[in-house]
């Protein structure tokens, strides 16, 4: 399979091809008998996705959907970049036939789809979906639509420590009565992937292409895993102040979750922070809580 094509506005047969060979013109007697004069057209060609991004270990399916009017046979092929010859390996593509019976009392509309699978071995560039059709009156039609194929190169090995994050941090209840306690809870997580580089959650040695969850297209840390038994510091920033106050330290459970209680005396922002280590980046999260007297 071969080439890629730019996505254009829906292709119409009238604009995409020269005037077909002389088309038989029904006589007045035919019109009177059948009541409808066929008007063959390739109404549109839609290609999904319009840009195909393939990584070394994966594949992407591309589907072309063709809408036609008054057509009795249809061929859908894919053409490679530049040379623009058939690259689908399917011969004439998908054909459908309509009845050649006597007369047409109304327009006939059809929707036909065909799919191809693209891998790293396919050429990059502009491919074309090429469509040829024969109208019920013998008219020859053709149209094209383009789409791009790109390779997602491997991301370089990440530098520095692995990323961490605190998710779901919440201080409750909100608002809280003065002097009552607030519950602070959240979860500490560590990333296992950067691009196609994979790390066991408790390891600092990377393996290229070592896990299905790691994706070339993500040149950032992803695929998060819980990070337990780590110190989480608690801070408070009173409303109107610019100085954080250290309140205390809690520890994440084996599943990464943490929970602690603090006494609320003023409105302000509560923050939790994981300082990180030489191999783990630090992370933090915040939540504002209003304190009321009653």
Which among 74, 64, 43, 175 is positioned nearest to 116, based on CA atoms? Answer: 64
What domain range includes position 270? Answer: 164-292
Residue that wins the pLDDT comparison between 93 and 141: 141
193 shares its domain with 288: yes
Predicted confidence band of residue 23 (pLDDT cuts 50, 70, 90): very low
Q: Which helix (H) or strand (E) holds 34?
A: helix 28-34
End-of-domain residue from the set 122, 151, 180: 151
Number of domains in the chain: 2
- Asked if residue 45 belongs to a domain, the reply is yes
145 shares its domain with 186: no
135 shares its domain with 171: no
Position 286 pLDDT exceeds 50: yes
Q: Any idea of the CA torsion for 114, 50, 194, 272, to the nearest 10 degrees? A: -110
138 shares its domain with 249: no
CB 204 within 8 A of CB 198: no
The highest-confidence range among 52-61, 204-213, 234-243, by mean pLDDT, is 234-243
134 shares its domain with 169: no
Q: Can you give the pTM of this predicted structure?
A: 0.50
- 123-154 burial string, b = 16+ CB within 10 Å, else e? bbbbbbbbbbbbbbbebbbbbbbbbbbeebee
170 shares its domain with 234: yes
Instruction: For residue 258, give Cα distances in angstroms to 102, 249, 252.
Output: 78, 11, 5
The dihedrals phi and psi of 293, each to the nearest 5 degrees, come to -80, -30
Residue identified by tokens 């791009």 is: 148
Fill in the DSSP letter of residue 154: P
48 shares its domain with 146: yes
Residue that wins the pLDDT comparison between 15 and 225: 225
CA distance linking residue 101 with residue 113, whole number of Å: 25
End-of-domain residue from the set 87, 117, 151: 151
- Asked if residue 4 belongs to a domain, the reply is no
We report the CATH number of the domain holding residue 195 as 2.60.40.730
- Asked if residue 158 belongs to a domain, the reply is no
Predicted confidence band of residue 294 (pLDDT cuts 50, 70, 90): confident
68 shares its domain with 189: no
CA distance linking residue 19 with residue 175, whole number of Å: 74
Predicted confidence band of residue 86 (pLDDT cuts 50, 70, 90): very low
- Asked if residue 157 belongs to a domain, the reply is no
262 shares its domain with 139: no
CA distance linking residue 145 with residue 63, whole number of Å: 12
End-of-domain residue from the set 151, 174, 193: 151
23 shares its domain with 72: yes
74 shares its domain with 101: yes
| 42: Cα separation from own chain's centroid | 29
125 shares its domain with 199: no
Q: Across residues 62-75, what is the average pLDDT?
A: 95
We report the CATH number of the domain holding residue 25 as 2.60.40.1930
- Asked if residue 254 belongs to a domain, the reply is yes
23: Cβ–Cβ under 8 A, 6 or more apart, which residues?
135, 137, 138, 139
- Asked if residue 5 belongs to a domain, the reply is no
Query: Computed from CA positions of residues 79, 85, 87, 92, in that sequence, does the dihedral angle turn out positive or negative?
Result: positive
Predicted confidence band of residue 56 (pLDDT cuts 50, 70, 90): confident
- Asked if residue 1 belongs to a domain, the reply is no
Other residues' Cβ atoms within 10 Å of the Cβ of residue 214: 24
- Asked if residue 38 belongs to a domain, the reply is yes
What is the predicted pLDDT for the residue at 208?
60
């Amino acid at each position: 399979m071969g080439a890629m094509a730019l996505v254009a506005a829906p292709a119409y047969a009238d604009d995409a091809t020269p005037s077909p060979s002389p088309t038989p013109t029904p006589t007045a007697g035919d019109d009177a008998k059948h009541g409808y004069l066929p008007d063959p057209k390739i109404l549109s060609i839609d290609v999904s996705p319009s840009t195909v991004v393939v990584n070394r270990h994966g594949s992407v399916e591309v589907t072309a959907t063709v809408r036609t009017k008054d057509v009795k046979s249809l061929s859908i092929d894919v053409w490679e970049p530049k040379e623009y010859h058939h690259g689908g390996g399917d011969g004439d593509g998908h054909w459908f036939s309509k009845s050649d019976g006597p007369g047409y009392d109304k327009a006939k509309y059809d929707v036909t789809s065909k799919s191809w699978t693209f891998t790293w071995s396919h050429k990059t560039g502009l491919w074309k979906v090429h469509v040829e059709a024969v109208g019920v009156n013998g008219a020859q039609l053709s149209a094209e639509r383009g789409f791009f194929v790109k390779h997602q190169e491997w991301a370089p090995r990440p530098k520095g420590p692995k990323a961490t994050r605190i998710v779901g941090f919440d201080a409750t209840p909100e608002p809280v009565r003065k002097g009552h306690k607030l519950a602070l809870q959240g979860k500490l997580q560590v990333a296992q992937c950067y691009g196609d580089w994979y790390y066991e959650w408790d390891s600092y040695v990377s393996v290229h292409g070592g896990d299905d969850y790691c994706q070339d297209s993500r040149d950032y840390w992803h695929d998060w895993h819980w990070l337990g038994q780590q110190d989480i510091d608690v801070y408070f920033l009173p409303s109107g102040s610019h100085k954080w106050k250290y309140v205390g330290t809690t520890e994440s459970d084996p599943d990464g979750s943490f929970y602690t209680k603090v006494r609320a005396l003023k409105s302000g922002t509560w923050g939790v922070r994981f300082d990180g280590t030489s191999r783990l980046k630090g992370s933090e999260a915040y939540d504002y809580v209003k304190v009321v007297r009653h």
